[in-house]
Amino acid sequence: MDGTTADKRRGMSDLRRHRLRLEISREASRLFWEQGVAATTGDQIARAVGLSTRTLWRHFRNKESCAEPVLLRGVEWETSMLRDWPRHVSLEDHFTSHVRHYTLTATRTDHLDDLLAVQMSVLARTEPAIRAAWLMACDQTQRELAEIIAARVDLPADGLLVRMHAAAASAVIRAHSEYIGAALLTGADPLQFADAPRRIARAVHAATGGAVGGVPAA
């Protein structure tokens, strides 16, 4: 599934860069959660990963953005789902099957990442720095969503309509993520959100005025 493709080209491959950023983000998020953002120094994060502080700042523009990769994985779930969404399948059906597939194939690391993501999204409620990182991650998601939608409806990704739909869809996903995350961290039963995919799919469908989510030629 995640076999490291042999990268023969020059420079650090995007994959390796991505992996390293995620690794850093994991440690940073853990520290943020355990001892707070303010009390966590760049040196601590760097040492936890086994890097020099200088290298840390080469990979992240500031402390708060260290949380972004973990936060992104929290919604990457939804975007990756949308990415390979067959044209002739409704969003609702595809979403539910995708969730089923995820729960079957998810590794231990995946679950740990999910936990970290939830923790960060909760931390975002009180820590402005993390909130900014969360919003930046969602913004990133929104731009990817715009690409996906653009390809679907065959319109330019930087057009107003596509951007509106992407914004609305991503906002709906974000609202759900925050809501569920908050509920889970206060001890809610995960099974309570079993029908979340269906609800999210419908909400996305509704928020985009029916443009995203249905079957093209019904």
Partner DNA sequence: TCCTTGCATGTCACTTAGCGCCATGGTGTC
Partner DNA sequence: GACACCATGGCGCTAAGTGACATGCAAGGA
Of 4, 54, 88, 189, the residue at the interface with DNA (CB under 7 A) is 54
CA separation (Å) from 215 to 145, 152, 210?
Answer: 18, 11, 10
User: Torsions phi, psi of 98, nearest 5?
Assistant: -65, -40
Question: CB of residue 6 vs a second copy: minimum separation in angstroms?
Answer: 33
Select from 7-15, 44-52, 105-113, 132-140 the region that touches a second copy (CB under 8 A): 132-140
Partner whose footprint covers residue 51, from DNA, a second copy, none (CB < 5 to 8 Å by kind): DNA
Question: CB of residue 175 vs a second copy: minimum separation in angstroms?
Answer: 4
Question: CB of residue 48 vs DNA: minimum separation in angstroms?
Answer: 12
Question: CB of residue 162 vs a second copy: minimum separation in angstroms?
Answer: 10
Partner whose footprint covers residue 196, from a second copy, DNA, none (CB < 5 to 8 Å by kind): none
Pattern of binders to DNA over 7-36, x per CB under 7 A?
-x-xxx-------x----------------
Interface with DNA (CB under 7 A), residue total 22
CA separation (Å) from 111 to 16, 59, 86, 198?
Answer: 21, 24, 26, 21
Question: CB of residue 47 vs DNA: minimum separation in angstroms?
Answer: 10
Q: Which of 67, 66, 81 is nearest to 173 (CA)?
A: 81
Of 51, 99, 115, 132, the residue at the interface with a second copy (CB under 8 A) is 132
43 binds DNA (CB under 7 A): yes
Angle at 62 between CA 57 and CA 68, to 5 degrees: 105
Name which of 53 and 80 has its Cβ closer to DNA: 53
Question: CB of residue 162 vs DNA: minimum separation in angstroms?
Answer: 32
Binding residues among 149-178 for a second copy as defined by CB under 8 A: 160, 163-164, 166-168, 170-172, 174-176, 178
Q: Which residues bind DNA (CB under 7 A)?
A: 8, 10-12, 20, 40-43, 50-55, 57-59, 61-64
